Amino acid sequence: MTQQHPWSRYVAIGDSFTEGIGDPEPRSPGGNRGWADRVAEVLATGTDDFAYANLAIRGRLLQQIMDEQIDAALSLRPDLITISGGGNDIIRPNTDPDIIASRLEDAVRRLRTDGATVVIFCGPDIGMTPVLSRSRGKVAIFNENLRAIALRHDAIVADMWALRELKDARMWAPDRLHFSAAGHNTIAHMVLDSLGVQNDLEPFRPEPLSRRPWRQARVADMGWAREYLVPWVVRRVRHQSSGDGISAKRPDAGSIAAWSAPDRG
């Protein structure tokens, strides 16, 4: 059951998280579904003429999101906007979470200009993830800044740090950098809860994981490093982005029905 809500035009902006990377779906534009598509599908239920656009592009830094996506988002005249950005900045060496948060506040101020509801995202607790775990303290500082920004600008906080389900390995895609379909679904449920919208998305009810032998786990780690970590490091060294040459998957605000969206869940 979906509770009635006040929104009719939803625009999502951000990076790979909002684009839906880690949640492949051939029937969705761009080949990925993700939490934002799932949220839009629920919001469209029972809402006449509901429109949704997703301008997010993988690999984007926060300033790129601001330069490339904010004006485009506002031109679509949304009454609901989600922005998730800064994660790609946070994990880079020698970046300051206070400066990144200040930049995000400028973005929120612009997005609130026409009175749209704005949702911002606290980063998840990444203490258990390889590569990213060293940035855990910076994420925590960034999150505290975001809570203050939300209070100052009457924004809604979608709190991934509090979403303890994300500590389960099944919440993460094979690259260990993005969320899996189960992770995106769990986050979509949390976002809808943050908006006060009842929904029928299936909660995560995992079976206990069996413990893998040490040797098997190490072989898996080496395979992951070859397939995902090394290419990621090479792109950083070459100043390349996974989003180079990629365009937004849903650049125009359109009807959900026109996309032949897969069944929710």
Q: Would you put residue 117 in left (φ > 0), alpha (ψ -120 to 50) or beta?
A: beta
Where residue 215 falls among pLDDT bands split at 50, 70, 90? low
Q: Could you tell me which residue, 99 or 264, shows the higher pLDDT?
A: 99
19-28 residue pLDDT tens: 999 999 998 9
Residues 6+ apart with CB under 8 A from 147: 122, 157
- Rounded CA-CA distance 149/172 in Å is 28
Domains and CATH numbers, the chain: 9-203+214-255 (3.40.50.1110)
pLDDT at residue 105, as a whole number? 98
Q: Could you tell me which residue, 238 or 198, shows the higher pLDDT?
A: 198
Contact 32, 20 (CB under 8 A): yes
Asked if the model's pLDDT at residue 217 lies above 50, the reply is no
Q: Among 20-29, 126-135, 173-182, which range has the highest average pLDDT? A: 20-29
145-157 residue pLDDT tens: 999 999 999 999 9
pLDDT at residue 260, as a whole number? 45
Global pTM reads 0.85
5-23 residue pLDDT tens: 999 999 999 999 999 999 9
